[in-house]
Amino acid sequence: MAKYGKDPRAIGALVRDAEVHRDVYIDPEVFELEMEHLFPNSWIYVGHASQLSKAGDFITANIGRQPVVASRHTDGSIHLFYNRCPHKGVKIASEPCGNTGKFFRCPYHAWSFKTDGSLLAIPLKKGYEGTGFTDTQASGGLSRIRNVVVYRDFIFARLSENGVGFEDYFGESLSTIDNMADRSPEGKLAVEAAPIRYMHTCNWKMLVENQTDTCHPMVAHESSAGTAIKVWQREQGESTEKPMAVQLYGPFMSPYEFYEQSGIRIWPNGHGHTGVANSIHSNYSDVEGYLDRMVAAYGEKRAHEILGEVRHNTVYFPNIMVKGAVQILRNFIPIAVDRTLVESWVYRLVGAPDKLYERALMYNRFINAPTSIVGHDDLEMYERAQEGLKSNGNQWVNLRRLYESNEEPDVTAVINGTSERQMRNQFHAWAKFITMDMDQGVEAAE
């Protein structure tokens, strides 16, 4: 039975000022509507241009549940298509990445396509003469996704033909991606390896919300970060320099006051970040030679400006999180209402010392891997929430921390770092983008 149909009012009613209805996490129908409306109407991360360094390189990805392929064409341009042969629907690319040479060739009947998606050749072409083939969608080759923007090598796409433009959608939030890329003396990032993949049996939004949930680390991660500190204090002996591992785990146990002061910045359209004044990434030890290279590249003042911006987690609505200071991007890929694939990518700062890449890789396996003790703490909470929300005791999830009745939607503001306002910001955007292209005439039909 369809509870929500395509009724924007019914869906809008799931989001109150400071509460959301549990159906946004547990109702399969709401999940279907997200796939059909929210993801196509939003700008979604596809991949990084460094994964497409040569002509013929391709990567596959999902936008919501839509399988897509991005490719580097002979003229250097990047193109994005639905991963589906126009003949009988066979997936054109079956691997996460590769090089297809001069053209894609469908493995079923050998239709071939240029790397810009256009139809190159069909065997026994004569058989289509006079059949009206040229009037079909198939004759156009691979179905293209036209709204693609490559911003500082980050490839984003919007499936819907119409909607909010890239610049308007992200606005000032792009400053986190800028900061991450600027941390390379050459202003360039490179993907060198596959991501760490981690399957979560929970709704994708729980993961996104958790990125700016600053009241959980000292509680949920006492078991991991707290134990790491305890063991180090006991075993350190004479050594005074904290090992990299302890530097990475330790700050998770920072007290509430630390997070309160470090602040949260929100932006329109559901984006926002923790760690405005400082963050858990502020006190890592210096890497020898790095500052010199930065100063040589940018000058003293600009280099310090770049390295002084140590944001914690930046949420790009709807489903990625970027850590500029540690060069990590986490992609929360929705699989089902209670299933989310998390892919955590590390970027190498081109021209920076290896030690920074080593640290980013270490952070990624400490925090974002299926073997990560911090990950175990978090996933346990998500799984319990996914189960707990089935309870009929209360239909609402409470997001009221530091709520003010005059909160404006879609604004830029810096607030107390323990506020749940970024979560409210996300749900405002959620309601806006999921209903954006729904038929507003439902009311009349009732």
Partner 1 sequence: MISEKTITDFIYREADLLDTMQWQAWLDLFHPEGRYWMPLEWQQQDPVLQPSLMYEDLMLMKVRIERLAGERTFSQKPKSRCHHLLQAPQILVCDPAAGIFRAKTSYIYTETRGDTLERFSGWASHDLVQVGDELKIKLKRIDLVNFDAPFGNIQLFM
Q: Name the residues that contact ligand FES, by CB under 6 A.
A: 85, 87-88, 90, 106, 108-109, 111
274 Rama class: left (phi>0) / alpha (psi -120 to 50) / beta? beta
- Beta carbons of 337 and 203 less than 8 angstroms apart: yes
> Minimal distance in Å, beta carbon 46 to ligand FES?
23
- Residue of minimal Cβ distance to Fe ion: 378
> Minimal distance in Å, beta carbon 120 to ligand FES?
12
Residue list 372-431, contact with partner 1 (CB under 8 A): 373, 375-377, 379-381, 384
What Å distances lie between residue 40 and 63, 64, 334, 436, 442, CA to CA?
A: 8, 8, 13, 10, 21
> Minimal distance in Å, beta carbon 91 to partner 1?
18
Site string for partner 1, 244-283 (x = CB under 8 A): -x--------------------------------------
378: contact with Fe ion by CB under 5 A: yes
Site string for partner 1, 79-118 (x = CB under 8 A): ----------------------------------------
- Interhelix angle 373-388/354-367, rounded to 10 degrees, is 40
> Minimal distance in Å, beta carbon 258 to partner 1?
20
Residue list 243-262, contact with Fe ion (CB under 5 A): none
What CA–CA distance (Å, rounded) separates 424 from 331?
20
- Beta carbons of 206 and 332 less than 8 angstroms apart: no
What CA–CA distance (Å, rounded) separates 166 from 171?
8
Stretch that binds partner 1, among 133-141, 180-188, 207-215, 219-227 (CB under 8 A): 219-227
Among 370, 403, 410, 442, binds partner 1 (CB under 8 A): 370
What CA–CA distance (Å, rounded) separates 92 from 95?
10
- Give a three-class secondary structure readout of 74-86: CCCCEEEEECCCC
Stretch that binds partner 1, among 9-17, 60-68, 222-230, 311-319 (CB under 8 A): 222-230
> Minimal distance in Å, beta carbon 165 to ligand FES?
34
Among 231, 277, 296, 414, binds partner 1 (CB under 8 A): 231
Nearer to partner 1 by Cβ, of 6 and 197: the residue is 197
> Minimal distance in Å, beta carbon 372 to Fe ion?
10
- Of these partners, Fe ion, partner 1, ligand FES, none, which one is at the site of residue 133 (CB under 5 to 8 Å by kind)? none
What pairing do the DSSP bridges indicate for beta strands 119-121 and 66-72?
A: unpaired
Compute the 3-state secondary structure of the chain and give helix, strand, coil in percent, each to the nearest 5. 35, 20, 40
Among 364, 386, 425, 426, binds partner 1 (CB under 8 A): 364
- Name the 3-class secondary structure at 409: coil
- Name the 3-class secondary structure at 390: coil
Strand-pairing partners, residue 100, are none
Q: Which residue has the tokens 């996933």?
A: 379
- Name the 3-class secondary structure at 224: helix
Among 220, 303, 326, 434, binds partner 1 (CB under 8 A): 220
- Beta carbons of 93 and 105 less than 8 angstroms apart: no
206: contact with partner 1 by CB under 8 A: no
Nearer to ligand FES by Cβ, of 9 and 88: the residue is 88
Q: Which residue has the tokens 């693609």?
A: 148
Residue list 293-322, contact with Fe ion (CB under 5 A): none
353: contact with partner 1 by CB under 8 A: no
- Of these partners, partner 1, ligand FES, Fe ion, none, which one is at the site of residue 202 (CB under 5 to 8 Å by kind)? none
Record the tokens describing residue 70, joined without a space.
């991005």
Non-local CB neighbours of 186 within 8 Å, separated by 6+ positions = 297, 350, 351
Nearer to ligand FES by Cβ, of 119 and 413: the residue is 119
Establish whether the linkage from the previous residue to 318 is cis, with ω within 30° of 0: yes
Binding site for Fe ion (CB under 5 A): 378
Binding site for partner 1 (CB under 8 A): 193-194, 196-201, 220, 222-224, 226-228, 230-232, 235, 243, 245, 341-343, 346, 354, 357-358, 361, 364-365, 369-371, 373, 375-377, 379-381, 384
